[in-house]
Amino acid sequence: MENRIDELYSVIEFIDERRLGPDFRFYNQHRVVGEQGKVLGYRYRAQLRENFNPILLRRTRASVLKELPPRSTEIMRIAPTQEQEDMHNSYMRTVSTILNKSFFTEMDLPRLQKALRMCRMSADSTQLVNKKPPSYSSKLDVTDDLLARLGNEEGKKNRVVFRVDNHAGPH
């Protein structure tokens, strides 16, 4: 949880509804609000910390990081299926056509954004783009295998992050 005062208020109220008093009074006392109503900062933070200490364990990111095991990163390059590659290439032709024009019309930017979005989505699954089965996705096949393998490691938590490389260059 981050140090957002509304999150803290909600958690503390759940644990001990009488500790902080009514929300309008709490926010009025601890928020610094600008003329437009935007929260600019907080005040009396030491008082807040003192009030939270009996019921919350407050730890900084730095102290938590010391207790975590070292991070391990495995980069896997996953080739698209032929169907994904064909779909990607068809949208890249649209991108290329728009970018090679001598001037852009009002409709070119939305068309360009859509074509690039479709390229990105086709890298995940063809069904995301054309909304109909079958779904061709080499990434999902590899992910199933990876999650099955990682799921067998007792007591470990895993985070899987996908990155789509630029397919526009030469293959």
How does pLDDT run across 24-41, given as a tens digit for each residue? 998 899 899 999 988 888
Is the pLDDT at 166 greater than 50? The verdict is no
What letter would DSSP give residue 107?
T
Taking the C-alpha atoms of residue 135 and residue 151, their distance in angstroms, rounded to an integer, is: 24
pLDDT of residue 55: 85
Question: Do 88 and 164 share a structural domain?
Answer: yes
Is the pLDDT at 94 greater than 90? The verdict is yes
Is the pLDDT at 119 greater than 60? The verdict is yes
Question: Do 108 and 77 share a structural domain?
Answer: yes
Domain count, the chain: 2
Taking the C-alpha atoms of residue 133 and residue 137, their distance in angstroms, rounded to an integer, is: 11
Is the pLDDT at 3 greater than 90? The verdict is no
Question: Do 114 and 85 share a structural domain?
Answer: yes
C-alpha 92, offset from chain centre: 26
pLDDT of residue 143: 84
pLDDT band at 170, cuts 50/70/90? very low
Question: Do 80 and 162 share a structural domain?
Answer: yes
Domain span including residue 35: 5-67
pLDDT band at 171, cuts 50/70/90? very low
Average pLDDT, the chain: 85
Tokens standing for residue 100: 């090679």
Question: Do 83 and 60 share a structural domain?
Answer: no
Question: Do 79 and 45 share a structural domain?
Answer: no
* Residue pair 18/55 in contact by the 8 Å Cβ criterion: no
Of 35, 67, 99, the domain-final residue = 67
Question: Do 153 and 75 share a structural domain?
Answer: yes
